[in-house]
Amino acid sequence: MKIVITGANGFVGASLCRYFSKQGHEVIATGRQQDPNAKLLTYATYIPFNIIKPIEYFNADVCIHAAGLATDQVDYDNLFLNNVVGTANVLEASKNCKLFIFISSSSVYNFTNKPAVEPDADLSAHLSDYGRTKLMAEELVKNNIPLTQQRLVLRPRAIYGIGDRHLLSRLLKLVRWQTIFYPADNKLQTSATHINNIAYAIELFFSQKDKPELQVFNIADDEIYSFKDITLKIVNAVEGRHLKVVDVSTKVLKSLAYISPKRVSPLALKTLTQNSVLDLSSIRENLNYKPLYDFGGSFEEIGEWVRNMGGKKVYLNNLDNAPWILNDKL
């Protein structure tokens, strides 16, 4: 099939370009950069454009929309422009595609101590600006579906893997003076999503018989993780040694959020103090989803990837290019 993938310069888009190219599909990659990383061109044809502006119709069978603004460090207008207006433009350009996949986010949930199920997403809930704009984008995906098109919305949590420039960079910044300053509840639990489990779910969607016009699924690894456990293991894997750990109390964290919300945003504070677990019942039942990857099989691989590019400092100074800085075997 011919697959167009938006956001190909980012972590998710880059990974999906590689994955589906290796599966034998013709990939058309898009992004706002005029000149992409040279490695991208070995996997896909590249078309530069900015999704906040109208786009010519895609000549493709599938559109995977992975572009957007994923941060809580910009204002609402920028988030709305990139995540809502951008999605509207991509939907319009994808009218002739048979399949449309939108990579949304678990930030559409106001998490509680119970695993989140898909109907829990609610614009009236107390969401971050990022979560609100992703859910607004989902509402666009749910409306005006062409008769010849089926749509899939995936809501991952804490995406990780080779090419990650968000979760990993935040965890590595917890290290100071050969010490990990762990800033969350010791009992905190979270779902997390290996990037290849997203690609696997999309493949299941491709092969699904009698697709309904719209499906919305949570997606994550099988295991519910201890946030502290994965933090320490992944940081130590990158460092190549076991570092000393100092726990930062929740009281200190809340004080920092109050004094300096730019350092500890409301979204970050909630992430570090509230369980963030996804219920996977729906994707298991409807797509027969049985995730193949997990953190346990990825710590050393991610550590080796960072060390091969020159270590932690090189990685943190090249986050924009990280999705396309690859080990030879990738």
pLDDT band of 330, cuts 50, 70, 90: very low
Q: What is the overall mean pLDDT for the chain?
A: 90
Q: What is the DSSP string of 103-158?
A: E--GGGS---SSPB-GGG--TTS---HHHHHHHHHHHHHHSS--TT-EEEEEEESS
Render pLDDT for 52-107 as a digit per residue (tens, 0 to 9): 999 999 999 999 999 998 877 788 999 999 999 999 999 999 999 999 999 999 99
pLDDT attached to residue 30: 95
Give yes or no for a contact between 198 and 156, defined as CB atoms under 8 angstroms apart.
yes
Does residue 34 surpass a pLDDT of 60?
A: yes
Return the DSSP state at 326: -
Q: Which distant-in-sequence residues (6+ apart) come within 8 Å of 75 by Cβ? A: 129
Task: Give the start-to-end residue ranges of the domains of the chain.
Answer: 2-324
Q: How far apart are CA 274 and CA 296, in angstroms?
A: 23
Task: Write the CA distances from 267 to 23, 151, 243, 274, integer angstroms.
Answer: 37, 29, 27, 10
Q: How far apart are CA 165 and CA 6, in angstroms?
A: 17
Q: How far apart are CA 329 and CA 187, in angstroms?
A: 37
Render pLDDT for 245-287 as a digit per residue (tens, 0 to 9): 888 766 655 565 545 555 555 666 566 678 899 999 999 999 9
Q: What are phi and psi of 280, to 5 degrees?
A: -105, 10
DSSP β-bridge partners for residue 181: 246
Q: Which distant-in-sequence residues (6+ apart) come within 8 Å of 95 by Cβ? A: 57, 146, 149
Residue with token string 């004080």: 255
Query: 27 vs 35, which has greater pLDDT?
Result: 27
In the CATH hierarchy, which fold is given to the domain comprising 2-324?
Rossmann fold (3.40.50)
**Side chain identity, residue 10:** G
- Report the percentage of the chain scoring pLDDT > 70: 91
Give yes or no for a contact between 99 and 63, defined as CB atoms under 8 angstroms apart.
yes
Nearest Cα to Cα of residue 312 among 257, 220, 243, 262: 243
Q: How far apart are CA 144 and CA 154, in angstroms?
A: 19
Least confident of 30-44, 83-97, 148-162, 202-216: 30-44
Render pLDDT for 111-135 as a digit per residue (tens, 0 to 9): 988 999 999 999 988 888 999 999 9
DSSP β-bridge partners for residue 159: 193
Q: Alpha helices, DSSP H only, in the chain? A: 11-22, 76-79, 86-93, 129-142, 167-172, 195-207, 227-239, 250-259, 266-273, 281-287, 299-308, 312-316
Q: How far apart are CA 21 and CA 2, in angstroms?
A: 10
Highest mean pLDDT among 84-88, 162-166, 185-189, 318-322 belongs to 84-88
Query: 216 vs 239, which has greater pLDDT?
Result: 216
Tokens of 6: 């938006």
Give yes or no for a contact between 86 and 67, defined as CB atoms under 8 angstroms apart.
yes
pLDDT attached to residue 264: 52
Average pLDDT over residues 186-193: 92
pLDDT attached to residue 71: 76
Cβ of 187: how many Cβ atoms within 10 Å? Answer: 9
pLDDT band of 329, cuts 50, 70, 90: very low
Does residue 5 surpass a pLDDT of 90?
A: yes
Highest mean pLDDT among 51-55, 168-172, 175-179, 279-283 belongs to 279-283
